[in-house]
Structure 1
Amino acid sequence: MARRVLAGLGLACMYAAVFLAFHPAIVTGEAFLGWDAVNEHWGDLLVPLHALRAGELPLWHPFERGGYDFLADPQTGVLYPFNWLVWLAAAVFGEGPWVVLLKSLLHVAIGGLGTHILLARLGLSPSASSFGGLAFVLSGRVAKAKDSAGLWSPVWLPWLVLTGLELVRRPSPRTGLAFGTATAMAFLSGYPPNFFRDLVGLAPVLLVALVLVVRRLPAARRHLARVAGAGGLAVGVALGLALPNIIATLAWLPETVRDQLDFGEVVYSTARPLHLLDALAPGTWRDGAPVHYLGAVALLLAVFAVRRDALRITWAACALLFFLLACGDGSFLLPFLARHVPGFGLWRIPAQYFFGFAFFVAVLAAHGFDDLVRAEPARRRALGRRLALVFGLACLGLLVARAWSRAPASTGLAALFVALGGACLGGLLSARPWLRRAAAPAAIVVALLELKVQARQIHGITQRPPDLARDAVLAQLDDRVGWRVADDDHYRWRVGARLDVRDIFGRDSTLVTRRWRAFAARAREHANLLAAANVRWYAGGHRAAVQRTAAGQSRWTPGRPVELLHAAPLAYWTAQVELVDHEDDALARLAVLPPGRAALLEASQLDPATTAAIAGFDPTAAPVPAILDGFARNRLGFTVEAPAAGVLVVNEAWGPGWTAQVDGAAAPVLRANYLFRGLLVGPGRHAVELEYRPPRLRAALAVYAATALLVLLGLVLLPRRTSA
């Protein structure tokens, strides 16, 4: 067992090292990962670490967007164990941007190792298994996704296929636990659209494999019953591990913009079926860096591998399916499925289907490589003719295509690599043992060299290393808990998430609330909205507009943020309550009212008793700021001296799951000032406690812990295999 683990770690490190070698500028420090990696995921990795250091669970994140449910956003991956490894590394070695590079390399290793083990379990040679793993992790889509959340779920597709095939062929409690765990990892890793796409590719493979197994068994019903039992256990494990995320996301979903996804956004793609040529030679048919580039040697080996074998035909059919789905509105398939089949209409960016295309082509290519490595003398001549036909025609076609190619140099290079690769692969069919021994590594080297040269545009998609010099300015500002900043892409890289600075802006993900997105769009150029949200410091490209709309209530020194002198306090009592009919009316009124003086409530959100109580308020009393007693991620405490009955406005975002107590008695948490919270309080001195306790979440976390313990015990104690 220990030797197997060490061998697996060695292979994983090999795949990560090769991937990193394809990005030398990152190694030398001249460049770093691009867009999402640093701008989004770096912060997501640090938020839970900061929470755990403070002895808190990372449920609510108060340092961006006025606060939001951190667990409910699947992309944060709070319950994903491989993120825990990155948190541990950051806790020991520091919180620099290298932590997100570590996560990317970790997932490249997961994808490469999973593909390698899958191919080895299918009976392929070590060299063929390595070829398939490298073809997958060095494909154009994976190379580009090193910078985005799209990478996390697809690297689990090999593991889903591996554990799913084991369950179908050898159903047992152990294989059920393994398949359920792999499914949960693909879901918890943080990108539900690509988890769904994983399942699209997994379903036909397992269905065909089950039919093949059942056809050759005399006791088919008994085997099917065992598959059903193991499958049920897998579903239970997957649901048990995913339950907290599912509950949190479903509770938060009605507040978000996700339900406004347009059909055109679902199916829009720049890829077309004829762009399959760019998987062979980048730039032949379209400009730019094609993210579906696979390498000519790998793609032609995949074509070479297709023969009358049910599983190979399934690999090929899945590759074609994913390519057509990635074409989006350039093909009939995805528009039809998005309209008529549940699930396909929920996700944007059809180009993400290229992950499945790359994986299934890599699996087929490894089979073709293995056919040549293990060719028996009697079959070598026939295989040689077939190899010459596939590679010779492709080389000739590429040479002809140079005349009309958009990138003739790339097309010509592809022809050269096809010729070199075909020659090396042909050496595997030689009668000379020394030539056969040298041919396999030579073919892998040619394929790697081709990917290195031809995919340089894709591998070169990076940005400069983060410059954090501006962050030092934040340390010179006044109390950061009592006041908020508005980082309008000035400090960048999610200053709130990284430095625990309360930032009204932050990551604009697909699960932001409708209200916050509308508020942020208007507040960028309207100082009154910023001030009403407890923002004292603004930094960003709309500085002039913010100063102009501050109407003389601002101060600015070059090199520092704009200071808004009329910012509302973090919490304040007021009896000046204004009822509006609709949320849009609340936002419009908030832009013109003096910050920190009134409370805007929406009549449609109030019950009759609350409305009647508000009608009896005396609006002549002056507002009173509350005293902050305690500020934590999931808990707030205030003391307020209320001269009369009124509303305590708390300038932290409202969300389902927030509960409140006033002097120990439960009190409803109202929506106030469009985005924030409000509580009714009577006259006198009051101790107010707010706590984030989403309903059913504690029970779901207990289920998660029990399921994880069950999986660990089962995988350690249950026998490894049973006969089919």
Structure 2
Amino acid sequence: MTKFVRFRLLPAPPLADAAAVFSLLVLTAVAAWDTLQPGETFVGADAATQFYPWYAFLGESLRSGDVPGWNPHQFSGTPFAADPLSGWSYLPAMLLFTALPPLAAAKAYALFHLLLAGCATYALARVLEMGTAGALLSAVSYEFSGFLYVENTCCFAYASVMAWLPFAFLGAEGAVSSGSRLNRALWWGVSGLALSQILAAWLGQGSYYALLALMGYVAYRTVVSPPGRGVYARLSGTVLHAGGILVFGFGLAALGLLPRLEYNALSNLAGGYPDAKGAGGWTVEDWRLLLEPGLFYAGVTVLALALVAPFIARGRSATPYFAGLCLAALVLSGAEPTPLHSALSLLPRFGQLHPHFPERAMVVFFLGAALLAGATLSRLGEPGKKVGPLLSLPALATLLLLATRVPPSAALLLALTVANVLAAAYALLPGRRALWRGLAAGALAFVVFSDLFAAGKATLVEHGEAQGGSRLEDRVRQIDLAQYYRPTDAARFLGSRAAEPSRYLGYGPRTRPRRSLSSPVRFADPETQALGVNNRAMTSGLQSTGGYNAVRLARYDEYMRALNAKGQDYHYADVFEGGLDSPLLDLLNVRYVIVPAGTPPDGGEGVQNLKDAHPTVYEGDGLEVLENRGALPRAWIVHSARRAEPDEALGLLASGAVDPGETALLEETPPGLARPVDASSDRARVTEHGADRIELETTTGAPGLLVLSETYYPAWKAYVDGRPARLYRADHLLRAVPVPAGEHSVELRYESATLQLGIAVSSVVGAILVALAVAAVVRRRKKAGPRTAAVRYSMSRSNGPPAPVQGGARW
């Protein structure tokens, strides 16, 4: 790719780019050293309880040649490929967790995003006509900013969007600057690839903000700051480049995007976040978080250089746009409405998404700030320019920023002083002192790195030692992943009983009025791990009624609300004390309940009631496994069915007015059923239970309805003796298949039309992108052949090298 970028870079000393990139790699290795080592490392709640289990399941499925459409381990079964955070269609997760063991893949995954963010930012800065010093500073400022560095240990959606964002800008700039149709289309594909990965990583607020930033940049480069062109040419250029990027982006994302759009319509978030009226949001005073070591720390030196960029580097390196981007992100981070909020609310779904923690818009701020800082340093270092009067501006900006925050530490004051001295040295040293200028620039980048890295590491340590708190993303612990994911003895016991499909739930006493022992913020506690909650069923190969995920079927939420006789936070599907004896729990095939051993503490009446009602079949590891012998099997046959409205069925089942073992409640006219002479001879046996395929054998003396304690979803299809059969929604949530009298084989397959269509679309668009890349390389080689021959002929005639070509393709 550098062959297509190189002609747009500013001249630099020999090996300067190589030295800068090597320095960036060394700093990345230093920052990721603890992560790459065996043993304990910093891991966030979301990474440990969501992303790593999902990615491991994804990799295991892909290694076996399966497309993981369904997840049987959470929420009594739920869509997997259609889940927006599952990792499906996100190439780093798919490739790394397929090729490597889960623990090695987890380390490589964290390292990859740091490298991508840094290298892509460096390339983008160079393409934006920054020198190597400014580009290196931009890359360091962005890669190790607090938000990216800390979130890369916890909440991968943020880190993934931030890592791919500069790559998307790089492709957009390449397309706008290219004079060749072939290269332009290829750059559309590059930007579209990055956009597709952003959509795959965070379909929602993150991708919305990134898309706005990317399209805004395209508009800026085609309307505001293009080469001399007329109004029509500028507007048509905007449509052309934006359209090309969007076609490639959404085309490559189709394999995940299409099934997710289908799933969203059936999910608990179909109408937006439940707290759409507003949650979170910054005030102007919160902007100081950018100056204080913590999650949002951007670095005082970086912000000081960025603040003066509109004055020092105005008109260069797209400075006006990135200054506007930073300001827009700050404005949008506030909860109070502004004209910008009102304008963007005209866009589809923005008004439903943005009010939910609007400070998430800061996901696009840090790239703008890093590029502005690099542009300032690059302008100060331009040879032959009088920069003396400008050198005071960064120092004044530093003092101004320090005046707005708490008194700085001595170490920070020393770092800021050294940074200003190094920036001045880089600017004042003459061009012939290239080595000393390079050392000054490298030292400045190292000082910025040290400040950001120390702040990021301190933030991780602080969060790792914190207790309680309301922000889930702040919960970070230092744990050994190998030890954390090792199955407990209780999990092994349940696995030994997997011949007959069943589910379990972990239940613990509530330690706070609104938090149970299974809360994800307690993921590192041994008691929580022993309960098998927090999606640990996935890593153990078991099946559970619970899980931790913001998205699931709306029907399942309704079911759990009826089971508990109360609602709960949309992230969870816990069973409360009031639901432990509900008939709806038996209907979910909950055969086992894991509870803490011993006498429960105050507030543990639910645990004691469970122990009184169910026998203990295993005890060890400080817990007990209870057997619920009243649970319904995974599949059974009924010969009675009646129609019930969706809002009626749950009430009838929860009250015990209808016995689901005898009668099925359908939402449409029931099929023809008959009662056998001897109903006790009915048999429904599961012979194979895979993630996307279930096989059963049935025996009945009269036409009946096979009911499965499996979550209904439209993508599931039923076959009886190999022929398609009708699949009904039974008992509000479950699946049912009519079976005739006699012995028959029944098969259910997950066959998602949207998933298959998405794979086909993405395959075609991906093939087009590969073809464009091959064609561009072939054409370049063909052009290089005659040029090389001409140079050799010229050298043979003149006995010397050709004169350098003057000028360049700067915009």
The structure 2 residue matched to 1:504, chosen from 508, 521, 545, is 545
**Is 1:320 aligned to residue 327 of structure 2?**
yes
1:183 to 1:440, Cα distance in 2 relative to 1, 3 A: same
Query: In the alignment, which residue of structure 2 is the partner of 1:529?
Result: 584
Query: In the alignment, which residue of structure 1 is the partner of 2:75?
Result: 65
1:44 to 1:16, Cα distance in 2 relative to 1, 3 A: farther
Query: Offset of 1:75 from its aligned partner?
Result: 1.2
Q: Matches of 1:585 and 1:19 in 2, distance apart? A: 57
CA contact (8 A) 1:487 1:495 kept: no
Aligned-partner residue type, residue 424 of structure 1: L
Query: Offset of 1:382 from its aligned partner?
Result: 1.8
Aligned-partner residue type, residue 464 of structure 1: Q
Query: Offset of 1:589 from its aligned partner?
Result: 1.3
Any idea what the Cα deviations from partners look like across 1:420-460, whole Å, max 9, x if unmatched?
32122122233574764442122222212222334444343
**Is 1:390 aligned to residue 397 of structure 2?**
yes
Alignment of 1:62-211 (within 5 A): 62-90=72-100, 94-96=101-103, 98-146=104-152, 147-148=154-155, 149-170=157-178, 172-211=184-223
Aligned-partner residue type, residue 239 of structure 1: F
Query: In the alignment, which residue of structure 2 is the partner of 1:464?
Result: 478
**Is 1:555 aligned to residue 609 of structure 2?**
no
Query: In the alignment, which residue of structure 1 is the partner of 2:27?
Result: 18
1:600 to 1:151, Cα distance in 2 relative to 1, 3 A: farther
Query: Offset of 1:190 from its aligned partner?
Result: 4.1
User: In terms of mean alpha carbon deviation, does 635-644 or 10-19 score higher?
Assistant: 10-19
Q: Secondary structure of 2:753's match?
A: coil
Q: Matches of 2:754 and 2:586 in 1, distance apart? A: 36
1:337 to 1:232, Cα distance in 2 relative to 1, 3 A: closer
The structure 2 residue matched to 1:33, chosen from 30, 43, 50, is 43
Aligned-partner residue type, residue 136 of structure 2: S
1:680 to 1:336, Cα distance in 2 relative to 1, 3 A: same
Q: Matches of 1:517 and 1:105 in 2, distance apart? A: 40
Any idea what the Cα deviations from partners look like across 1:322-352, whole Å, max 9, x if unmatched?
112122x156367635754433223233222
Any idea what the Cα deviations from partners look like across 1:4-63, whole Å, max 9, x if unmatched?
99x999988865763563466545634331111111001111122222344422112222
Any idea what the Cα deviations from partners look like across 1:543-584, whole Å, max 9, x if unmatched?
863663687343354324222222221111122445443346
Query: In the alignment, which residue of structure 1 is the partner of 2:254?
Result: 243
The structure 2 residue matched to 1:425, chosen from 417, 423, 426, is 423
1:337 to 1:458, Cα distance in 2 relative to 1, 3 A: farther
Query: In the alignment, which residue of structure 1 is the partner of 2:471?
Result: none
Q: Secondary structure of 1:629's match?
A: strand
Query: Offset of 1:71 from its aligned partner?
Result: 1.2
Alignment of 1:632-643 (within 5 A): 632-643=690-701
Alignment of 1:243-642 (within 5 A): 243-262=254-273, 264-265=275-276, 267-282=278-293, 289=294, 291-307=295-311, 308-309=314-315, 311-327=318-334, 329-330=335-336, 332=338, 336=342, 339-347=345-353, 348-376=356-384, 378-395=385-402, 397=403, 405=406, 408=407, 410=409, 413-431=411-429, 433=433, 436-460=437-461, 461=463, 462-465=476-479, 466=481, 467-477=484-494, 478-480=496-498, 482-488=500-506, 489=518, 490-492=531-533, 494-516=535-557, 518-519=559-560, 522=564, 523-525=575-577, 526-527=580-581, 528-540=583-595, 545=606, 548=609, 552-559=613-620, 560-577=624-641, 579-583=643-647, 585-586=649-650, 589-590=653-654, 592=656, 597-602=661-666, 605-607=667-669, 610=670, 613=672, 621-622=679-680, 624-642=682-700
User: In terms of mean alpha carbon deviation, does 542-551 or 647-656 score higher?
Assistant: 542-551
Q: Secondary structure of 2:749's match?
A: strand
1:480 to 1:381, Cα distance in 2 relative to 1, 3 A: same
CA contact (8 A) 2:614 2:626 kept: no
CA contact (8 A) 1:319 1:361 kept: yes
Q: Matches of 1:716 and 1:138 in 2, distance apart? A: 35
Q: Matches of 1:598 and 1:536 in 2, distance apart? A: 19
Aligned-partner residue type, residue 369 of structure 2: V
Q: Matches of 1:472 and 1:124 in 2, distance apart? A: 58
Query: Offset of 1:624 from its aligned partner?
Result: 3.4
Q: Matches of 2:342 and 2:708 in 1, distance apart? A: 48
Any idea what the Cα deviations from partners look like across 1:335-380, whole Å, max 9, x if unmatched?
635754433223233222122111100110110111222253x512
Query: In the alignment, which residue of structure 2 is the partner of 1:286?
Result: none
Query: Offset of 1:116 from its aligned partner?
Result: 0.8
Q: Matches of 1:333 and 1:213 in 2, distance apart? A: 25
Query: Offset of 1:517 from its aligned partner?
Result: 6.3
Q: Secondary structure of 1:258's match?
A: coil
Query: Offset of 1:678 from its aligned partner?
Result: 0.9
Any idea what the Cα deviations from partners look like across 1:191-247, whole Å, max 9, x if unmatched?
4321111012122222121124545147x7668667655554433322322223232
Query: In the alignment, which residue of structure 1 is the partner of 2:12?
Result: none
Q: Matches of 2:661 and 2:19 in 1, distance apart? A: 63
Q: Matches of 1:650 and 1:353 in 2, distance apart? A: 44
Aligned-residue sequence identity (percent) comes to 19
User: In terms of mean alpha carbon deviation, does 664-673 or 255-264 score higher?
Assistant: 255-264
Q: Secondary structure of 2:694's match?
A: strand
Any idea what the Cα deviations from partners look like across 1:163-203, whole Å, max 9, x if unmatched?
11222222532223223222222222344321111012122
TM-score (norm 2): 0.78
Q: Matches of 2:540 and 2:655 in 1, distance apart? A: 29
Q: Matches of 2:266 and 2:742 in 1, distance apart? A: 34
1:588 to 1:336, Cα distance in 2 relative to 1, 3 A: farther
Which ranges of structure 1 fall in alignment gaps of 5 or more residues?
Answer: 283-288
**Is 1:682 aligned to residue 740 of structure 2?**
yes
CA contact (8 A) 1:265 1:349 kept: no
Q: Matches of 1:655 and 1:216 in 2, distance apart? A: 55
Query: In the alignment, which residue of structure 2 is the partner of 1:285?
Result: none
Query: In the alignment, which residue of structure 2 is the partner of 1:43?
Result: 53
Which ranges of structure 2 fall in alignment gaps of 5 or more residues?
Answer: 6-14, 464-475, 507-517, 519-530, 565-574, 784-808
Q: Secondary structure of 1:429's match?
A: helix
User: In terms of mean alpha carbon deviation, does 329-338 or 532-541 score higher?
Assistant: 329-338
Q: Matches of 1:641 and 1:691 in 2, distance apart? A: 21
Q: Matches of 1:623 and 1:359 in 2, distance apart? A: 68
1:78 to 1:387, Cα distance in 2 relative to 1, 3 A: closer
1:12 to 1:482, Cα distance in 2 relative to 1, 3 A: farther
Q: Matches of 2:137 and 2:261 in 1, distance apart? A: 41
CA contact (8 A) 2:20 2:132 kept: no
